[in-house]
Amino acid sequence: MTPAVSIHNLWKRFGDHAAVAGLTLDLPAGSFIGLVGPNGAGKTTTLSMVTGLLRPDQGTVLVHGADVWTDPVGVKARIGILPEGLRMFERLSGRELLQYNGRLRGLPGAEVDRRAEELLTVLDLSAAADKLVADYSTGMRKKIGLAAALLHNPDVLFLDEPFEGVDPVSAQTIRGVLKRYAASGSTVVFSSHVMELVEQLCDWVAVINAGQVIAQGTLDSVRGDRSLHTAFLDLIGVREQDEQSLDWLGEAR
């Protein structure tokens, strides 16, 4: 079976530092995939290169067999992205943003309107549909970003920290939409620090550390008989804190 995403020997250096250092990974199609790793592991840099937002120094990325850098238009038609930082057209309303995205994707106007209204309803954004995106809260921004990423019904959806700064109610809504999307046989790839969430949602996991993959496979094969949280700490090798350090903290002033 062709993997949904095939990453081979990917490299990105910033000055002397290799943020991504020969990363190789095949992501199975039709899976709900979690990318986990400590701060600075290279998850965002990897996702940026995989989605065509950042040019790699070296390596190849194929999405359903098409090369991200030699066939960018073909690949971008098949993927949806919710990037970190969420740069959006702030002076458009949520509804206008979806309409604009849909037209850019080449969808007929009536179809864009139909899909946009459905997404606004399901993501609980109907009441805010005519408000400017600039005035949206963090959770609302994630939800409108997700709607924009799903509008053209992509084969693979990439999400960088989709639940960061999102309240439990919005998180539940986002989870429901992602589960429904994944149940249709599409592929979801998302990065997160929240192991419990990855355990709940994902059937396949890759652990990234220092720009490389240190574990990958089904959720059960990566965590074994431990929780994913414990497996993650074991894999990363958490450093014990020096007893002497911070000895002033909490002392009588």
Ligand X SMILES: Nc1ncnc2c1ncn2[C@@H]1O[C@H](COP(=O)(O)OP(=O)(O)OP(=O)(O)O)[C@@H](O)[C@H]1O
Choice between 61 and 112, CB closer to ligand X: 61
Q: Near ligand X by CB under 6 A, which window of 11-19, 104-112, 218-226, 229-237?
A: 11-19
Decide: is 34 part of the binding site for ligand X (CB under 6 A).
no
Residue 157 host element (H or E): strand 156-160
For the CB of residue 18, give the shortest distance to ligand X in the complex, in Å: 8
One-letter amino acid of 112: V
In our burial notation (b when 16+ CB lie closer than 10 A, e otherwise), range 78-108 reads: ebbbbbeeeebeeebbbbbbbbebbeebebe
CB of 41 to ligand X, least distance (A): 4
- Please, which residue, 40 or 72, has the CB nearer to ligand X? 40
Q: In the complex, what is the shortest distance from the CB of residue 85 to ligand X, in angstroms, rounded to a whole number?
A: 10
CB of 187 to ligand X, least distance (A): 20
Do 107 and 184 contact (CB within 8 A), yes or no?
no
First to last CA, the chain: 65
Is residue 31 part of the contact set for ligand X (CB under 6 A)? no
What's the chain's Rg over C-alpha atoms? 20
Touching ligand X, residues 36-75 (CB under 6 A): 37, 39-45
DSSP state of 28: P
What CA–CA distance (Å, rounded) separates 145 from 148? 5
- Residue 9 Cβ, how far from ligand X at the closest point, in Å? 17
Whether 10 contacts 24, CB under 8 Å: yes
Q: Is the Cβ of residue 48 or residue 93 nearer to ligand X in the bound state?
A: 48
In the complex, the residues that contact ligand X under the rule CB under 6 A are 14, 17, 19, 37, 39-45
